[in-house]
Chain A
Amino acid sequence: MMCEKMFENTFLEEILNITLLSLKVSGTAVLIGAIIGIPIGTALGFGWFKGKMMLTRIIDLTLKSIVNTFMGLPPVVVGLVVYLLLTTSGPLGPLGLLYTPTAMIITQLIMAVPIVTGVTMSAIGSVEKTVRERALSLGATDRQAAWTVLREARTGILTAVIVAFGAAISEVGGIMIAGGNIRWVTRTLTTAIVVETNLGNFDLAITLGIILLSIAFIINLALTIIQFRGQKR
């Protein structure tokens, strides 16, 4: 009896640990990704790099293409690169970050930044011209006009964050390589599903899958409500 009880407790504790770690890793990665990505995306969306000169135009186009390409970075490749950077004999080896949650955050951050940047960029790009012209014609200063554009594009920017989080929380290949899938330490919902499926524990794998889906659903629901309110105002 005692043993069964103990097992039950650690079982639930482990699921909780796995879920919280997933949220922590992906949440942190996307948050930092948003702090980096939104300003870059805004700058690119407004075309601040676009000058009158031919050269600056080429730079602007190149930057945008790079962002768009990196939006589809394969997670395993990112994981491999992070692994090679953090491995003890690698350039960042002395930091001792390999097989830690931080390594997983770095991996997902590298994937999140281009996604946030890209979606922000297109969100601003799509409203920039019309909203800006209207604001200017109503007597706004340049700065006020830019602020209005940003306000109009805010649902798009929020979408950027949702998309990045969705990609991060469901990612498995990259964090498996960089995190090492260590039980209690770097095992997330997705990597736990891989392990449990390999072990043939389909019940547990499905349970974890449902938790993963529920998290994605709750967060999307919350953000959709915010978006909806934003549009009504």
Chain B
Amino acid sequence: MEFPKTTIAAVIIGIAIIGGIAYEHYLSSQKPIIVLATTTSVYDSGMLDYLIPKFENKHHAEVHVISVGTGQAIEIGRRGDADIVLVHSKNLELSFVNSTYGIHRIGVFYNDFIIVGPASDPAGIKNLTNSTEAFRRICERGFRGDATFVSRADKSGTNMFELKIWSMLGITPSNKTYAWYIEAGTGMGSVLRISNEKGSYTLTDRSTWLSFKRQLKDMDILVQDDKILTNPYAIILVNPEKYPNRNYKGALALAKFMISNEGQELIANYKKNGEMLFKPLARKIELARELGFPDQSNELAWYDKQKP
């Protein structure tokens, strides 16, 4: 049986491509890779695209960023599919650390949540400084059919925080029971745009809001400056004893960079329309303690003691 030339050519090309991929894989595995699982609220702000190249240049490492919700980011860390997580949900973080899969939780930076909604404000929450009261009014108006609320519904830090406020009112809202409660199941940016289209209220972190403001013509900030709305982000390392093959050294270097004076300064300098998106937290021990990091000074000392 005689093979046509095209078949032979195809086989040769095929082998060449497979060989090329194997070679490339070999090359890329020479450079240490750090896998960072983080939240869409950090990623969508563009801050990491600004910060991480500076780290990569300094340390000759490659950082791979997986951008998901906090719940999923922690799950990725727990399964050993990441080296380090950067997240914002105290309860999920603590259970991650308590399960011993995550170690050395430290506050890095913070911003705050805000309640945004249609400029017409049918629930009349504008200028309230009590977010719980604002949620109550949205719920009340919602039942009358005047207002709707879009929820992330993705176990993200923002979603967990939103559910905490509802639970303070004794409500467990869901799409099924409440027509005014829309469960989007998507990232912060999408939820903002859905809210804008539907004229709904939603809870967002200020950074994503500032990044998207230009596209949200019909929306305004309605509630802010409530103390409980402070939104701190934490770094947690994946325990190398659980996953010895993970790049613990790289994770440590990245963490050290982000909480270093240099890293904190870079974070403070990242602005959109002149507004700071994330405020430094790592070296403000008192504030960190207030925001749910009782061990901040110990952890900071530990990180500073580690060799780079």
- Closest chain B CB from A75 CB (angstroms): 18
Check A199/B25 contact, CB under 8 A, given A31-B14, A143-B1.
Answer: no
B233-255 at interface with A (beta carbon < 8 Å): 243, 245-246
B→A interface (CB under 8 Å): 1, 10-11, 13-14, 17-18, 21, 25, 35, 40, 44, 49, 62, 64-67, 79-81, 186-187, 189-190, 193, 212, 215, 243, 245-246
- Closest chain B CB from A159 CB (angstroms): 16
CA distance A28 to B22 in the complex (A): 12
Starting from the known contacts A88-B80, A88-B246, 20 additional A-B residue pairs (CB-CB under 8 Å) come to A24-B17, A28-B17, A32-B18, A35-B11, A87-B79, A88-B79, A99-B81, A100-B25, A102-B21, A102-B25, A105-B21, A181-B66, A181-B67, A182-B64, A182-B65, A185-B62, A198-B44, A198-B187, A198-B189, A200-B189
Q: Which 6 A-B pairs have the closest CB atoms?
A: A88-B80, A182-B64, A200-B215, A180-B66, A31-B14, A198-B190
Whether B243 pairs with A88 at a CB distance below 8 angstroms is: yes
CB-based nearest B residue for A31: B14
A128-184 at interface with B (beta carbon < 8 Å): 143, 147, 180-183
Q: Which of A90-98, A119-127, A209-217 contacts B (4 or more CB under 8 A)?
A: A90-98
- Closest chain B CB from A207 CB (angstroms): 17
CA distance A188 to B264 in the complex (A): 32
Whether A198 pairs with B1 at a CB distance below 8 angstroms is: no
Check A87/B64 contact, CB under 8 A, given A102-B21, A198-B186.
Answer: no
Contact of A9 with B by CB under 8 A = no
Q: Which of B35, B49, B80, B243 contacts A99 (CB 8 A)?
A: B35
Contact of A89 with B by CB under 8 A = yes
Contact of A47 with B by CB under 8 A = no
Whether A99 pairs with B64 at a CB distance below 8 angstroms is: yes
- Closest chain B CB from A156 CB (angstroms): 16
- Closest chain A CB from B48 CB (angstroms): 9
Q: Which of A27, A147, A182, A200 contacts B66 (CB 8 A)?
A: A182
Could you show 19 A-B contacts with beta carbons less than 8 Å apart? A24-B17, A27-B17, A28-B18, A87-B79, A87-B81, A88-B79, A88-B80, A88-B243, A89-B79, A94-B245, A96-B245, A99-B35, A100-B25, A105-B21, A182-B66, A198-B44, A198-B187, A200-B193, A200-B212
Q: Which of B10, B11, B80, B193 contacts A93 (CB 8 A)?
A: B80
CA distance A198 to B66 in the complex (A): 15
Check A199/B64 contact, CB under 8 A, given A28-B18, A96-B245, A147-B1.
Answer: no
CA distance A27 to B16 in the complex (A): 12
Question: Chain B residues near A87 (CB, 8 Å)?
Answer: 79-81
Check A98/B18 contact, CB under 8 A, given A182-B65, A183-B49, A200-B215.
Answer: no
CB-based nearest A residue for B78: A89
Whether B17 pairs with A31 at a CB distance below 8 angstroms is: yes
Question: Chain A residues near B10 (CB, 8 Å)?
Answer: 31, 34
Whether A199 pairs with B66 at a CB distance below 8 angstroms is: no
Whether B65 pairs with A183 at a CB distance below 8 angstroms is: yes
CA distance A181 to B67 in the complex (A): 8
- Closest chain A CB from B218 CB (angstroms): 14
CA distance A24 to B22 in the complex (A): 13
A183-225 at interface with B (beta carbon < 8 Å): 183, 185, 198-200
Question: Chain A residues near B66 (CB, 8 Å)?
Answer: 99, 180-182
CA distance A199 to B80 in the complex (A): 28
- Closest chain B CB from A27 CB (angstroms): 7
CB-based nearest A residue for B208: A199
Question: Chain B residues near A34 (CB, 8 Å)?
Answer: 10
CA distance A200 to B243 in the complex (A): 37
Q: Which of A28, A89, A94, A200 contacts B21 (CB 8 A)?
A: A28
Interface string of A71-101 (1 = CB under 8 A from B): 0000000000000000111000110101111
CA distance A94 to B81 in the complex (A): 11
Question: Chain A residues near B243 (CB, 8 Å)?
Answer: 88
Question: Chain A residues near B80 (CB, 8 Å)?
Answer: 87-89, 93
Whether A35 pairs with B14 at a CB distance below 8 angstroms is: yes
In this complex, which of B66, B81, B187 has the most chain A Cβ atoms within 10 angstroms of its Cβ? B81
- Closest chain B CB from A140 CB (angstroms): 13
Question: Chain A residues near B64 (CB, 8 Å)?
Answer: 99, 180, 182, 185
Question: Chain B residues near A181 (CB, 8 Å)?
Answer: 66-67
CA distance A27 to B13 in the complex (A): 11
CB-based nearest B residue for A97: B25
- Closest chain A CB from B126 CB (angstroms): 25
CA distance A102 to B24 in the complex (A): 11
CB-based nearest A residue for B216: A200
Question: Chain B residues near A199 (CB, 8 Å)?
Answer: 44, 189
CA distance A102 to B11 in the complex (A): 20
CB-based nearest B residue for A147: B1
CA distance A87 to B72 in the complex (A): 14
